[in-house]
Amino acid sequence: MSVAENSIAASVVDLFCGAGGLSHGFKQEAFKVAAGIDIDEACRFPYEANNDAPFLRKDVEKLTAKEVDDLFIPRTKRVLVGCAPCQPFSTYNQKNEDPNWKLLHAFGDIIEKTEPDVVSMENVPRLLAFRGGAVFNDFIAKLEATEYTVAWDILYGPDFGLAQTRSRLVLLASRLGPIAMPKPTHAAASYRTVRDEIGALPSLAHGEIDERDPLHRASRLSETNARRIASAKPGGTWRDWDQDLVADCHKVSTGKGYSSVYGRMSWTAPSPTITTQFYGFGNGRFGHPEQDRALTLREGALLQGFPRDYQFVAPGEQVHFKRVGRMIGNAVPVTLASAIARAVKLHLESVQ
């Protein structure tokens, strides 16, 4: 394997790569992606089909330093990137009993043993407070003990051209010298909107599939939810409905505060954070701004910054909402990944 003439003399290995959102951002910025590693076999096709790189199905906790070292392209700067599963640190996992939080330690161990030139770690902001901040602070301490200069910040997606109100904790570290975080490219007045991303897609009713794009498909609504979305206002809540449409759980005192479900998005603003269940109307503010349905899989992918032609399912293979929705919702938004890649590119150019 060699580095193309128009690419950067650096190679990228992506841990916890999923369907390839982070890798694709680096590919868009002319990095050579050497490999992606993930335990989910379902991610193999989308990763390899869109990133021109091999997918290795492997538990990161069982990776050896030699296995990682051997993936990098010889005589290039080595960039190790990854987003350890964020569910353990999410507000949706209040009990913090998910053992996957230990995968961040595994990421740190690999960094310590392989000493790549540059590291990028992305996760949810709540990692900062998890276990009193000990997990994140231990990760930084391990990097600094391995002679990395570390920078980190919480990046807000719309500031970088993402049409989604997603905030992510991003860390950059380098053994080559100080490294700067990405600089915002968009002000509030120029934020990309839901209309910018999905406004040109063909109209669909709930349960329909676009014959030209099998991922542009909408989940079917129950009769009650069809009536609910017909009553929903862009940017509104279930409080706008007639009383007979309000769910029983929202009529009791413990449920009256949960207003961020059964909502429509607004055309003129970024979308809410895309979760793994964005294709379900009752799972958040995922109602289409004017069509009586939830987002399609393709619309969710576009709001995550994936290109219009990004493939998630092999031609002729059956499309499963849950499987594809998980890959899209768990991905690092490609738009944000590109901003991270640009920051790494500027850093490598500055230390040549």
Cite the active site residues: 86
Distant-in-sequence, close-in-space partners of 321: CB < 8 Å, separation ≥ 6: 217, 219, 279, 297
The two beta strands, 10-15 and 77-82, are parallel
Letter for the amino acid at 92?
A: Y
Torsion of CA 276, 268, 166, 220, to 10 degrees: -10
Find out whether 103 and 61 touch, Cβ atoms under 8 Å. Answer: yes
167 within 8 A of 157, measured Cβ to Cβ: yes
The residues, any chain, with a CB within 8 Å of residue 24's CB and separated by 6 or more, are 50, 51, 306, 307, 310, 334, 337
Residues 6+ apart with CB under 8 A from 83: 16, 18, 22, 121, 122, 123, 332
Q: How many CB atoms lie within 10 A of CB 349?
A: 9
Taking the C-alpha atoms of residue 212 and residue 198, their distance in angstroms, rounded to an integer, is 16
Residue 38 buriedness (CB in 10 A; 0-12 / 13-18 / 19+): buried
Phi, psi for residue 140 in degrees, rounded to 5: -65, -45
- H helix intervals, 199-309: 223-231, 248-251, 297-303
20, 87 contact by CB (below 8 A) = no
CA-based nearest residue to 104, from 119, 83, 134, 124: 83
